Amino acid sequence: MNSFDEAWGNLPDFLSWHVLLSVSALALGLLLSLPLAVLATRSRILRGGALTFASLIQTIPSLALLALFYPVLLALSHFTQDNFGFGFRALGFLPALLALTLYSMLPVLRNTITALAGIDPAVKMAARGVGMTRWQSLFIVELPLAAPIIMAGIRTAAVWVIGTATLATPIGQTSLGNYIFTGLQTENYVFVLFGVVSAAGLTLIIDRLLALSEDGLARRSRARVIASLAGLAVVIGASLYPMFGHAERSVVIGTKSFDEQYILGNVLADKLKSAGIVTTRRDGLGSTVIFRALAAGDLDVYVDYSGTIWANEMKRADSPGRAAVLAQMADWMKKTYGIRYVGPLGFENAYAFAMPRAKADALHIATLADLAAYAPRMKIGGDFEIFSRPEWRAVQKAYGLKFGVQRQYQANLMYNAVSGGDVDVISAFSSDGRIAQYDLKVLGDPKGALPPYDAILLVSPAHANDDGLLMALKPLLGAIDLATMQRANLMVDRPDDKLSPQQAARWLEKKITPK
Amino acid sequence: MIELQGLSKAYPGSAVPVVRALSFTVEDGEFLVVIGESGSGKTTTLNMINRLIEPSAGRINVDGEDVLGLDAVSLRRRMGYVFQGAGLFPHMTVAENIAVTPRLLGWPKPDIDSRIDELLHLVRLAPADYRGRFPRELSGGQQQRVALARALAAKPKIMLMDEPFGALDPLIRDDLAEDYRQIHERLKLTTIFVTHDMTEAMLLGDRIAVMREGALIQIGTPNQLLGNPADDFVKALVDTPKKRARRLAEVLRVTP
């Protein structure tokens, strides 16, 4: 299966979520902003307040706005759980919906306020003169007259929301953004392009249909408005159609935002599918978000790394050895969250500080300890997480490392940066095939500052005793060795002859299936 | 019968009241023209009668009932109101504009439909041609005829008119004024009509009330005003149409 076919195959799922999310956010946004705008025309203070608030929302980068809702909702969910006995899913649809709703408000608010304020005073006078109440004047005269301008605002909001909905992917909401994020991560530009074109296409179609409505309202042509509404109903209905049918509760597979995770996500999906389990994907989540999501039941299964949980979640800085880490971690997760530790996959993907072999050899650097003397004159490149993780502080402390410059990269670009000489050292991943490809030297950790990072399978509290699921996952335990994982990763990462994560997953499955 | 007693309007923060202790009575079936320069308080007075503006002091009685104690919205539905610039609802057809007040009052649909045709005939617009048109498809005079029909729709006994024909061409204006005077007679309306044009006032009004700086200077029939003006201002006002009539007569005599 080539990338295009794979992308095409995902379209019903991605598109239906994208449409559901955008339409819900727009509807909710309208429900809030229209009454607010009407009230605002009657109060100068409210008008100023509402417009300032909506403008302020626009100044927050959209990705950050979406991301910020997760912790807020999580706290709220804990609060309601503690006080009223119910919680809700803080990841995925809800935070995306709320952020996009806020995002949709400004154009509708502004246009509605402007349109209502711009109505000919003689017409408003006439409305009072013929004996209309304030509300009758509003609904019979003012709103219908303001409708074309309000509609223009709704169009702007629709374009913004449908575009911004692509950013819902990192907070665990499937959207057309899945193509873009996965594509960027795996340097699969067919995916990126597919995502961009489909999102733009959807935006264009909805915008044209709303334009027809706007035109219809301006010309008082009922036929145009009806045609537009019918068109919208068809587009939305057709997009949402794939959603009906899987009513059964599916098992949600999560992945973090790098290639190995996408490959393993596909492997998990295939394994569960062949066991007859219905699955849904939440791709490209952040390290902390994904663990919380599992604990909260927003996700059901994913692959994490023991050291990440050890350092980030358990806040441990010691390193008592591989077996002890796994045992204590399993125990802690079960007690604290009810999370089920299924077992290790068989390889380790550790944070590994690496530099070009030639340079390392020339300076006689073999370990992190050797690096300390050169560090102040060196530049280090890391992914988006490393410099804020406890492991980094532990390593810095253990070896007295102090780099002259720190830079953050998208994981893929990190390797280009170090081989191109932009930085001297990077925080590589030990299972990454590009360490070999770029001939990087992984520096030793003689003081054991870094914990082990065994790839491990985790299952949510709700499925902790789901025998069907656990049985389906069992064949993966201990099945993937480091060399196999590195090869699979390289298939996706290499610049030439790249495979998609799904293709690499198929290769990996074949490789680990006992003959 | 409409009685105004000591009616005043002052806006907060403004030392000079817009209308000062105004008292007069309009009899049933009477056509009263209120005349004055701009800023004389004539429009404010009119708008206080249907409570588009709330009086600061004084009383308004209609048929012995204190208007200020009534619900302002239902009061307005009982009175016709026409003002300069028509103020037709641009998103509604002629028929829909006319039907507004009857609909607000919850008339049955067949009654409203027949009423629309009746009114279009009354203001001399062919229903078949005009019912479905939008205001932007009408001339200024036609728009004002529709506004008149709209004001008459719910069969009010009282009509309040604020320079209704002020923005129209003279020819159309005379035409409309004459038509309206006939409608006033035929429907036995009580009309209060605001204008700043003394010729119009004399041609239309049974009586004329002259206002200046918020106060009533004189009220009387056109002949009373001509024969016995209360002061120089009234004299100057009534002299204008007199002079024009005289000049017109001379011009017509010279022409063969």
Return the sign of the alpha-carbon dihedral for residues A191, A192, A194, A198: positive
Closest-CA residue of chain A to B83: A126
Q: Full-prediction pTM beyond 0.80?
A: no
Is the pLDDT reported for residue B134 higher than 90? yes
Phi-psi label, residue A248: left if phi above 0, alpha if psi -120 to 50, beta otherwise? beta
CA distance A160 to chain B (A): 30
Question: Please, what is the end-to-end C-alpha distance for chain B in angstroms?
Answer: 49
Average of pLDDT values for B204-213? 94
Chain B partners of A118 at a C-beta cutoff of 8 Å?
none
Average of pLDDT values for A29-36? 93
In angstroms, the Cα distances linking B252 to B239, B241, B246, B247 are: 20, 16, 10, 9
Report how far residue B205's alpha carbon sits from residue B209's, in angstroms, rounded to the nearest whole number. 9
Suggest the residue from A130, A134, A135, A136 to mutate for an interface test with chain B (most B CBs closer than 10 A).
A130
Report how far residue B223's alpha carbon sits from residue B208's, in angstroms, rounded to the nearest whole number. 10
Contact (CB<8Å) A122/B87: yes
Contact (CB<8Å) A131/B89: no
Is the pLDDT reported for residue A249 higher than 70? no
CA distance B100 to chain A (A): 7
% of chain B beyond a pLDDT of 90: 71
Return the sign of the alpha-carbon dihedral for residues A451, A453, A454, A455: positive
Contact map slice: B 201-240 vs A, CB within 8 A: none
Contact (CB<8Å) A127/B88: no
Chain A partners of B87 at a C-beta cutoff of 8 Å?
120, 122-123, 125-126, 129
Mean pLDDT, chain A, rounded, equals 87
For residues A478 and A357, the answer to whether their CB atoms sit within 8 Å is no
A·B CB contacts under 8 A:
58
| pLDDT on residue B174 | 87
CA distance B98 to chain A (A): 10
Chain B partners of A125 at a C-beta cutoff of 8 Å?
52, 83, 87
Report how far residue A52's alpha carbon sits from residue A49's, in angstroms, rounded to the nearest whole number. 5
ipTM of the complex model:
0.88
What are A83-120's pLDDT values in tens digits?
A: 877 767 677 788 889 999 998 998 999 999 999 988 99
Contact (CB<8Å) A125/B77: no
Chain A partners of B75 at a C-beta cutoff of 8 Å?
131
CA distance A126 to chain B (A): 5
Is the pLDDT reported for residue A336 higher than 80? yes
CA distance B252 to chain A (A): 41
CA distance A85 to chain B (A): 50
Contact (CB<8Å) A126/B83: yes
Pick from A339-353, B161-175, B212-226: least confident: B161-175
Chain A partners of B83 at a C-beta cutoff of 8 Å?
122, 125-126, 129
Return the sign of the alpha-carbon dihedral for residues A306, A309, A311, A314: negative
Is the pLDDT reported for residue A309 higher than 60? yes
What residue ranges in A194-287 does DSSP mark as E strands?
Answer: 251-256, 279-285
Q: Is the CB of B144 inside 8 Å of chain A's CB atoms?
A: no
B123 CB neighbour count, 10 Å cutoff: 21
Chain B partners of A144 at a C-beta cutoff of 8 Å?
91
Q: Tokens standing for B216?
A: 């009533």
| pLDDT on residue B61 | 93
CA distance A225 to chain B (A): 15
Is the pLDDT reported for residue B150 higher than 80? yes
For residues A357 and A424, the answer to whether their CB atoms sit within 8 Å is no
Model confidence at A241, pLDDT cuts 50, 70, 90, reads confident
Q: Who among A126, A131, A133 is closest to B89 (CB)?
A: A126
CA distance B163 to chain A (A): 14
Is the pLDDT reported for residue A512 higher than 90? no
Closest-CA residue of chain A to B105: A131
Strand partners, B212: B215
Q: Who among A129, A131, A145 is closest to B90 (CB)?
A: A145
Q: Which residue has the higher pLDDT, A281 or A397?
A: A397
Average of pLDDT values for A340-345? 94
Is the pLDDT reported for residue A244 higher than 70? no
Q: Who among A120, A131, A141 is closest to B76 (CB)?
A: A131
Average of pLDDT values for A325-352? 92
CA distance B16 to chain A (A): 25
Q: Which residue has the higher pLDDT, A159 or A64?
A: A159
Q: Tokens standing for B37?
A: 């320069």
% of chain A beyond a pLDDT of 90: 42
CA distance B73 to chain A (A): 5
Average of pLDDT values for A228-237? 89
| pLDDT on residue A420 | 86
Contact (CB<8Å) A130/B150: yes
Contact (CB<8Å) A133/B73: yes
Model confidence at A317, pLDDT cuts 50, 70, 90, reads confident
Contact (CB<8Å) B90/A123: yes
In angstroms, the Cα distances linking A159 to A26, A124, A176, A180, A231 are: 10, 32, 14, 18, 17
Is the pLDDT reported for residue A514 higher than 80? no
Suggest the residue from B52, B53, B81 to mutate for an interface test with chain A (most A CBs closer than 10 A).
B81
What are A355-407's pLDDT values in tens digits?
A: 999 999 999 999 999 998 898 999 999 988 888 888 888 888 899 888 988 88
Chain B partners of A136 at a C-beta cutoff of 8 Å?
104
Contact (CB<8Å) A129/B100: no
What are B42-51's pLDDT values in tens digits?
A: 999 999 999 9
Q: What are phi and psi of A96, to 5 degrees?
A: -65, -45
Model confidence at A460, pLDDT cuts 50, 70, 90, reads very high
Q: Who among B73, B77, B87 is closest to A126 (CB)?
A: B87
| pLDDT on residue B256 | 57
Chain A positions with Cβ closer than 8 Å to B: 120, 122-123, 125-133, 136, 140-141, 144-145, 220
Contact (CB<8Å) A130/B100: yes
What are A174-209's pLDDT values in tens digits?
A: 889 988 988 887 777 888 999 999 999 999 999 999
Is the pLDDT reported for residue A515 higher than 70? no
In angstroms, the Cα distances linking A291 to A87, A266, A303, B217 are: 17, 19, 10, 87
Is the pLDDT reported for residue A242 higher than 80? no
Burial degree of B16 (CB within 10 A; 0-12, 13-18, 19+): exposed
Chain A partners of B95 at a C-beta cutoff of 8 Å?
none
CA distance B15 to chain A (A): 26
Closest CA to A96 of A59, A56, A65, A53: A65
Angle between helices A501-512 and A482-493 (to 10 degrees): 160
Mean pLDDT, chain B, rounded, equals 91
Average of pLDDT values for A427-446? 89
Strand partners, A104: none
Model confidence at A245, pLDDT cuts 50, 70, 90, reads low
Q: Who among B75, B76, B89 is closest to A141 (CB)?
A: B89
CA distance B106 to chain A (A): 13
Report how far residue A490's alpha carbon sits from residue A470's, in angstroms, rounded to the nearest whole number. 29
Is the pLDDT reported for residue A64 higher than 90? no
Q: Who among B73, B76, B85 is closest to A122 (CB)?
A: B85
Model confidence at B109, pLDDT cuts 50, 70, 90, reads very high
Contact (CB<8Å) B89/A129: no
Model confidence at A218, pLDDT cuts 50, 70, 90, reads confident
Contact map slice: B 3-32 vs A, CB within 8 A: none
Residue B67 CB partners (closer than 8 Å, separation 6+): B49, B51, B60, B61, B75
For residues A104 and A153, the answer to whether their CB atoms sit within 8 Å is no
Chain B partners of A130 at a C-beta cutoff of 8 Å?
76-77, 81, 100-101, 104, 150-151
